[in-house]
Structure 1
Amino acid sequence: FAYLKFVYADDPFFARPRSLFTIHNLAYQGLFEKDVLGRIGLPESLFNMNDLEFFGKVNTLKAGILYATGVTTVSPRYSREIQTAEFGCGLDGLLRHRAGALNGILNGVDYRDWDPATDRLIPRNFGPADLAGKKECREELCRMFGLPEPADLPVAGMVTRLAGQKGLDIVCEALDSLLGLGLALVILGTGDQKIQDFLLAARKRHPVRIGIKIAFDERIAHTIYAGSDIFLIPSRYEPCGLAQMYAMKYGTVPVVRATGGLDDSVQEFDARAGSGNGFKFDEAAAGPFLEAVARSVRIFRRPAEWRKIVRNAMAADFSWERSAAAYLALYEKIAAAA
């Protein structure tokens, strides 16, 4: 984007092209020392606060926000969040300045890889019309993690990076109370050593209620999505998130913090109206997280209502066709701009 504006500005070939910059995670900004400008052929005069300078560094992500014709994020809510001090990572003022060029488009899922009706990595296929295969996946999931299958308790699953950004510190703080709600918990992931050690120690204290695998394994991940009843995503921030979309397709009800794409894709279940596909909480803290999980456990104990929310979740459409249509419309709008 900086090259288009400052290096090729007089080249007739580049006189008309429009550009679009997509931000996935604003926290990763590409910071370099000042001398990088000369080495990559950009004017050193750009090292000022109105261009690429950012707290004494060259910020390459800032260049995209400044110079692209349009800017997108991977969910509508994240596009609003990054204009605040809490989520803006020091660039919120610039993003507010460019708010008219900023759009949020929710990511999509490739259902060729994530569909319980055709998934070759799960023990038995199933669909919304016949959930018998999900029960078999639940049985296999418990065997994988060395847990007795809890006949009348929900199994909550997580497939995640073990990090504070993903809310694992909240899970650790709430763990005993979480088990007190009456559920079993399985977690697959790697990450922060302190979190790993805490979870492994908890597994020793609660061998029939907690299953932990410090790894990443695609077959186990798919089995968690297919075999769990509830899927936990207590992220502190989440630009989009795909895990909640995978979980819903497999009839596994998400409990998420209402941030970024989690908020855009999960609607709180309303038992009276029979609407909604999951459960949400606002504050990134143990108390609100536990309250949301408790709501999910209560509905799990009401079979008719639980069947309704499971089918609502499975009916949600997060295919790339919808996202691609939104991108195409934006491309056409940008291309038509004077």
Structure 2
Amino acid sequence: MNILMVAAECVPFIKTGGLADVVGTLPKYLKQQGHDVRIIIPKYRLIDGAKYNLQALPYKLSVFVGKEQENFRIKTCMLDGNIPVYFIENLRYFNRLGVYGDDSGVGYGDNRERFIFFSKAAIEATKALMFRPDIIHCHDWHTGLIPAYLKTTNLNDGFFWNTSTVYTIHNIAFQGSYDAASTVPLAGFSWEDYKSDKLEFYNTFNYMKAGLAYTDIISTVSPTYAKEIQGPAGKGMEVVLQTRKNDVYGILNGIDYSYWNPKDDKNIVANFSADNYENKKLCKKYLQEKCGFKQDENAFMLGCVSRFDMQKGFDLIMDAIGKLTQFNIQIVILGSGDRYIKDGMLYLQSLYKDKVSVCTDYNEPLSHQIYAGADAFLMPSKFEPCGLSQIIALAYGTIPIVNKTGGLADTINDFSTYNTKGNGFVFDFYKGEKFIDCVLRAYDIYKNQFLWNEVMKNAFASEYSWKNSVQEYENMYNVAVNRKTAYNIYQKNI
């Protein structure tokens, strides 16, 4: 199949969350299965054109955002695995210091226009490149308008006659909902389209609803999350999803084990493996030294690599630190995002500087060192569509402590002292006392070397590779393609 991925982020070029990891990694595995996969993302100022050797293509293209004509260029390079990546360059919308907003966490006031432009530009770029996709795979609210355009304003465009769309929800909390009176004409839809109930959401214009209503297939990033969002976790989209429940797929994300592998990770001080993890102690000692902690092998070291967001359970973490530091527990946290959480974490570090270390500037080598050196990994998310951090932690024998939600419920099983099964520690009610009890239960197990070795073995044996998920994506794509073929045959016969 010809598969086009359209998204707002893609590693290694630009990343604010797990969306970028999926868009930058899944295509490599699809390529290995024989598909022609390509990617389109915006060309943000933060993307270093010289570093990635971006080449400008000889196209001068434009689209309308409302009545304003916006010109753009296409630049390109090859992603590892021989995947073409195309960058939509427009200085007005993407020549900024941030991706979605400034460092205060406030989104840009014209984000609705930015992603109207990007969606239209992606469609026009695809035509200019003469790449006829069997599947356009759209990711999150930023691209929700693409399936809608293909079935409304571009309905009679023969270029996309055989194109199906798949729309993936990475986080249903972010939907792109804007004032309808000004957004409908800016986006170029008719009022009849808006009033058809596929774009309207409580008197607003909702990008995610557009994607869900018009796409051929809906997917999200774990089986449990696919069920949760059809209920109270749906943030208002549950009714739309329930009406399309037969079109909703939950496919667990994977990680790239060639990159996240303690056996040959160049970012850690000593390599180790599931067969011999004695050197993990050296990684812990190095991390303790780097954090300014006492180098105590018996200390229970908790790590966390995360976006600073209340979704990630930082209200629980901040409330728990005072009690946890009464024990021989050390905590290292790497994150960025919400300023309130950042300030709170730095204040806690100042109170407990011998046991709490916080780094608020994202540091890729340090993230590897935390995964390798910590004993356990904190991820008490309030909700978690899939989560990759807990899977990475497992690969390094670092035991996840998680809330039972979304992808965390699909990947982490609570360790039992009765049969020594389970690869982590799980609490099932989002409450501070439950979280603290879970951490202290893990601490008690840690003090029993035999039992801790058992849970580490279980963690190392857990595998969540893209190889396990790519077949499910292929099957989903085939459903979309076959449905489109049947529809086209029907149209010819009427």
Report TM bin, short chain: over 0.9
Partner residue in 2 for 1:307: 453
Query: 1:44 deviation in Å?
Result: 2.1
- 2-structure distance, mates of 1:196, 1:26: 24
Deviations 1:166-210 (A, max 9, x none): 111111112222223431111111233333333223223323221
- 2-structure distance, mates of 1:173, 1:58: 38
- 1-structure distance, mates of 2:158, 2:363: 51
- 2-structure distance, mates of 1:51, 1:89: 16
Partner residue in 2 for 1:191: 337
Among 187, 196, 204, which residue is 1:40 paired with?
187
Counting only pairs closer than 5 Å after superposition, residues 43-122 of structure 1 correspond to structure 2 as 43-48=190-195, 50-85=197-232, 87-122=233-268
Normalised TM-score (structure 2): 0.66
Contact 2:283 2:372 in 1 (8 A): yes
Deviations 1:187-241 (A, max 9, x none): 1112333333332232233232212222211111110000000000011111111
Pick which of 107-116 and 194-203 moved more.
194-203
Contact 1:72 1:102 in 2 (8 A): yes
1:267 aligns with 2:440: no
Query: 1:49 deviation in Å?
Result: 6.7
Normalised TM-score (structure 1): 0.94
Among 458, 476, 479, which residue is 1:333 paired with?
479
1:148 aligns with 2:291: no
Query: 1:142 deviation in Å?
Result: 0.5
2:269 aligned partner, one-letter code: P
- 1-structure distance, mates of 2:451, 2:224: 29
Partner residue in 2 for 1:138: 284
1:310 aligned partner, one-letter code: M
- 2-structure distance, mates of 1:89, 1:116: 38
RMSD between aligned alpha carbons?
Answer: 1.7
- 2-structure distance, mates of 1:17, 1:215: 42
Partner residue in 1 for 2:91: none
3-state secondary structure, aligned to 1:77 = helix
Query: 1:13 deviation in Å?
Result: 5.1
Task: Indicate the structure with greater strand content.
Answer: 2
Partner residue in 1 for 2:117: none
- 2-structure distance, mates of 1:93, 1:267: 31
- 2-structure distance, mates of 1:199, 1:64: 37
Query: 1:33 deviation in Å?
Result: 3.3
1:187 aligned partner, one-letter code: I
Contact 2:198 2:214 in 1 (8 A): no
1:167 aligns with 2:313: yes
Query: 1:122 deviation in Å?
Result: 0.5
- 2-structure distance, mates of 1:42, 1:49: 11
Partner residue in 2 for 1:252: 398
* Number of residue pairs the alignment of both structures matches: 337
3-state secondary structure, aligned to 1:211 = strand
3-state secondary structure, aligned to 2:234 = coil
Query: 1:84 deviation in Å?
Result: 1.5
1:58 aligned partner, one-letter code: F
Query: 1:12 deviation in Å?
Result: 5.1
Pick which of 308-317 and 32-41 moved more.
32-41
Query: 1:282 deviation in Å?
Result: 1.6
Query: 1:268 deviation in Å?
Result: 0.9
3-state secondary structure, aligned to 1:221 = helix
Pick which of 158-167 and 40-49 moved more.
40-49
Contact 1:181 1:297 in 2 (8 A): no
* Structure 1 residue runs without a partner (length 5+): none
Higher normalized contact order (CA 8 Å, seq sep 6+, divided by chain length): 1
- Once the two structures are aligned, what percentage of the paired residues are identical? 36
Contact 1:150 1:184 in 2 (8 A): no
- 2-structure distance, mates of 1:256, 1:329: 31
* Structure 2 residue runs without a partner (length 5+): 1-146, 487-494
- 2-structure distance, mates of 1:36, 1:213: 40
Pick which of 66-75 and 149-158 moved more.
149-158
Partner residue in 2 for 1:29: 175
Contact 1:181 1:294 in 2 (8 A): no
Contact 2:285 2:297 in 1 (8 A): no
Counting only pairs closer than 5 Å after superposition, residues 227-306 of structure 1 correspond to structure 2 as 227-306=373-452
3-state secondary structure, aligned to 1:155 = strand
Pick which of 63-72 and 188-197 moved more.
188-197
